[in-house]
Every structure is written in C-alpha cells, then in structure tokens.
Amino acid sequence: MSKTINIIKEKRQVTEMAKQRQKVYANMRKQLRKALEDEPKTIPELAAATGLPLHEVTYYLMTMRKYGEVVTGEVDDDDAYYYYELKKK
C-alpha cells in the first residue's frame, strides 16, 4: 500500500496557487487561534484584534468551526453576535 501512495505522490503535482492558499489559511488560522487564546470573542472583536476585515474573519472562523477547532458560545448582550472560543481538548 505504501508503494502505491509513494507513486501517487510522485505523479501528483500541487499547483503554486494551491500552495499559496494553504499558506494563507495557515496564517489566518494562526492569527485567529492566538486572538482566542485568552477569552472568547465575537467576530468584530476578532477583526479588531487581528486587523483583518470582517468578511475574512467570518470565512476563516467558520472554516475552523466546521472542522471542530472552535466552538460557538453565548450570544453577546446586544443579541447581535455569538462568542467563539477554541475547542478544549
């Protein structure tokens, strides 16, 4: 089985664009994880903490939520935004 996997790895080429997208995602994920280390935050709070636009925070945070890295908490006092926090291991 490992021989087959090695052959596939040799033949399969990852495009530069895919590599760049993966780097961007890793960077965004790192920034959001760092911002969530101390306490749960809303999307606007994460945007302010990271300096990223709201739409980018939303996209990457929802991706992290989809894959179980963050969880949704309580709603803020204005009933406008949820708090997000890192999933505890």
CA distance 15 to 23: 13
Delineate the domains of the chain, giving CATH numbers in brackets: 14-86 (1.10.10.10)
Given this model, what pLDDT does residue 73 score? 94
pLDDT tens for the chain, 89 residues long, are 678 888 877 777 878 898 899 999 999 999 999 999 999 999 999 999 999 999 999 999 999 999 999 999 999 999 899 999 999 87
- Enter the tokens of residue 85: 């926090």
Beta strands per DSSP E along the chain:
70-75, 82-86
Interior/surface letters 3-38, b for 16+ CB within 10 angstroms, e for the rest: eeeeeeeeeeeeeeeeeeeeeeeeebbebbeebbee
